[in-house]
């Protein structure tokens, strides 16, 4: 018996993705998401993230198989990787677990807000003033005062995105680690970040927040005027991504380190 028997379909609103989705509907009987065993996502990385976040919000998380109709397609499979029927492709795919981050923020007004991030949580200065951050990992303050443009916490799945552009490390899937990476650190100037076990929570307090306001971003959700932030891995929301053999996410993560 096939591992997955009923597939749902989610298609990006772009013209190119809609045309591809219409062709797929003519060759396979898709079901509503509440009846499905897995979901096929047609679009780019941004739309895949949007779909994964929607499943987390709805409380029904399905294995996701992406077909790239976007630009980079890091989280997606190549559209023409196989001519097999979509159900066969999904059932032959390899699965990878991706653990999102749970972010809790308190704003300067005292409001507490929670959000989820699959790629990274980032803190960014809101004005020309350099941000001042205090960083606590586990139960210890590791950096009493970091002057910088910001900082981010990246998952292995997100380590090749913003984190890598900020000179952070690329992390293999399943390594049980997070990347804590400064953005344009001024003092301590030589600090280049840390690789941390993912069971340790990370707390960042914004110092002098009236003079140096900071915003927090969990993937695509921004919260302004942050007073402090806590980030921890949310294993209860673990996601499953499906990849064609030979086009898996772990190979892409390795390959990114040899790109030139």
What are the catalytic residues?
45
Contact (Cβ atoms closer than 8 angstroms) between residue 40 and residue 10: yes
Q: Is 181 annotated as a binding residue?
A: no
Q: Is 165 annotated as a binding residue?
A: yes
CA distances from 243 to 77, 126, 153 (A): 6, 38, 25
Q: Is 149 annotated as a binding residue?
A: yes
Give dist(CA 28, CA 216) in Å, integer.
42
Q: Is 162 annotated as a binding residue?
A: yes
Residue 214 exposure: Cα atoms within 13 Å on the Cβ side: 30
C-alpha closest to that of 119 among 257, 231, 242: 231
Contact (Cβ atoms closer than 8 angstroms) between residue 169 and residue 179: yes
Phi, psi of 35 (to 5 degrees): -110, -5
196: tokens are 């941390």
Strand partners, 10: 41
Q: Is 164 annotated as a binding residue?
A: yes
Q: Is 46 annotated as a binding residue?
A: yes
Residue 223 exposure: Cα atoms within 13 Å on the Cβ side: 25
Residue 178, judged by CB atoms within 10 A of its CB (0-12, 13-18, 19+), counts as: buried
Residue 99, judged by CB atoms within 10 A of its CB (0-12, 13-18, 19+), counts as: buried
Q: Is 163 annotated as a binding residue?
A: yes
Contact (Cβ atoms closer than 8 angstroms) between residue 74 and residue 42: no
Q: Is 161 annotated as a binding residue?
A: yes
Give dist(CA 146, CA 149) in Å, integer.
10
Q: Is 74 annotated as a binding residue?
A: no
Q: Is 77 annotated as a binding residue?
A: no
The single residue listed with the structure tokens 């210890």 is: 140
- Per the annotation, binding residues are 45-46, 119-120, 149, 157, 160-165
- Per the annotation, binding residues for NAD(+) are 45-46, 119-120, 149, 157, 160-165
């Amino acid at each position: 018996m096939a591992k997955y028997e009923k597939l749902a379909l989610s298609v990006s609103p772009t013209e190119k993705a809609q045309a591809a989705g219409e062709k797929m509907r003519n060759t396979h009987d898709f079901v509503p998401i509440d009846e499905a065993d897995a979901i096929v996502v047609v679009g780019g990385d941004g739309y895949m993230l949007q779909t994964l976040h929607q499943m987390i919000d709805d409380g029904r998380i399905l294995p996701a198989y992406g077909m790239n109709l976007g630009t980079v397609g890091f989280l997606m499979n190549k559209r023409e990787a196989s001519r097999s029927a979509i159900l066969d492709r999904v059932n032959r795919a390899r699965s990878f677990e991706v653990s999102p981050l749970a972010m809790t923020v308190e704003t300067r007004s005292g409001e507490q807000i929670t959000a989820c991030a699959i790629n990274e949580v980032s803190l960014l200065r809101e004005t020309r003033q350099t941000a001042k951050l205090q960083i606590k990992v586990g139960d210890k303050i590791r950096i009493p005062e970091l002057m910088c443009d910001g900082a981010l916490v990246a998952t292995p799945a997100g380590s090749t995105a913003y984190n890598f552009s900020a000179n952070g490390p690329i992390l293999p899937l399943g390594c049980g680690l997070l990347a804590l990476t400064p953005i344009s650190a001024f003092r301590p100037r030589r600090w280049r970040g840390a690789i941390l076990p993912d069971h340790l929570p990370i707390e960042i307090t914004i110092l002098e927040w009236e003079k140096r306001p900071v915003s927090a971003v969990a993937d695509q959700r921004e919260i302004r005027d942050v007073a402090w932030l806590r980030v921890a891995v949310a294993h209860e929301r673990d996601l499953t991504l499906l990849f064609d053999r030979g086009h898996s996410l772990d190979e892409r993560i390795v390959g990114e380190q040899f790109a030139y």
